[in-house]
Amino acid sequence: MDEIKKQKMLIFLRDILVSVAIVGIILSALWGYTGQFPHSPMVVVTSGSMMHHDSPFGKIGTIDPGDLVLVKKVETKDDIITRGNSTNPSTKHRTYGDYGDVIIYYPMGNTDRVPIIHRAICWVEVNDGKYTIREYNIYNASSITIPELHLSGYRPKNSGFITKGDNNDYPDQIPNGGICEQPVKTSWIIGKARGEIPWFGLIKLMFFGNGAGYNGEDAVKIGKAVAPKDEWICLGISLLIIIGLPTGWDIYNFYKKWKSNKLRL
């Protein structure tokens, strides 16, 4: 009997070590790719500011409430590709349903504020009170006027990125009331979005909430999380596959063993 208990304990310890090793390998791979060690290589999207209304069922490929997004570290502004004019993009590089890179940054560099995940539209170069934005063919101007971004006579204090949520009408850099009144400095940027795991961030949001992160007609609230109905459906199906199938297999094997022992008796 003692030998059986010893074997069971060894199997239990082996399973724990294997589980820890698998988690370690996954985290090492994520940190190696993103360069974010020791910080989290992923963020949970809480708002609908990056949503696309023409997204397919489940909203795979765009950034939506409850998505887990990988955050790859950036070193310089050249690591980020800007979109430029919406009708004449300055790049063929597409991410999450539109042109250019999506960045994650602290508004005004304040690390106490919730990070913002929005698209980099253009780079503003400030030099002796003159402004240059190559994406919009603005050179050495005394102020910035871009009608499609609702910017008129804008005079920022520093060089940086103009950013905007794909689902927002206005950029973040609206004077006197914008999310981030000044262009986003490279030093404020946590990283750029690269890849996503859809829906699973909703599990965290169920406990911590996402406020008024989504208020569409198909909004469904479970726990403290609010998200589109199709995302909840996809999360439920995914959990059923991940948890339900192994559990069902164990029950099936238990039934076979029980039935076999019964026939022996």
Asked whether residue 163 falls in the same domain as residue 53, the answer is yes
pLDDT at 264: 59
Whether 153 is in a domain gets the answer yes
pLDDT at 128: 93
Asked whether residue 22 falls in the same domain as residue 76, the answer is no
Asked whether residue 100 falls in the same domain as residue 141, the answer is yes
Asked whether residue 166 falls in the same domain as residue 81, the answer is yes
Residues 6+ apart with CB under 8 A from 16: none
Q: pLDDT tens digits, residue range 149-205?
A: 999 999 999 999 999 999 999 999 998 888 999 999 999 999 999 999 999 999 999
* CA–CA dist 203, 223 (Å, integer): 9
Asked whether residue 171 falls in the same domain as residue 196, the answer is yes
Asked whether residue 110 falls in the same domain as residue 72, the answer is yes
pLDDT at 262: 61
* CA–CA dist 106, 253 (Å, integer): 51
C-alpha dihedral sign at 251, 255, 256, 260: positive
Whether 194 is in a domain gets the answer yes
Whether 219 is in a domain gets the answer no
Q: What is the mean pLDDT of the chain?
A: 91
Asked whether residue 131 falls in the same domain as residue 170, the answer is yes
Whether 108 is in a domain gets the answer yes
Whole-structure pTM value: 0.87
- Using DSSP, state whether 11 is helix, strand or coil: helix
**Burial call 126-165: b when 16+ CB within 10 Å, e when fewer:** beeeebbbebbebeeeeebebeebebeebebeebbbbbbb
Domain of 1 in residue numbering reads as 1-31
Pairing relationship of beta strands 42-44 and 94-95 according to DSSP bridges: unpaired
Asked whether residue 25 falls in the same domain as residue 152, the answer is no
Asked whether residue 46 falls in the same domain as residue 109, the answer is yes
Asked whether residue 18 falls in the same domain as residue 118, the answer is no
Q: pLDDT tens digits, residue range 23-69?
A: 888 888 888 889 898 888 999 999 999 999 899 999 999 999 999 99
Asked whether residue 135 falls in the same domain as residue 5, the answer is no
Per the structure, how many domains does the chain have? 2
Which of 200, 219, 236 is the C-terminal boundary of a domain?
Answer: 200
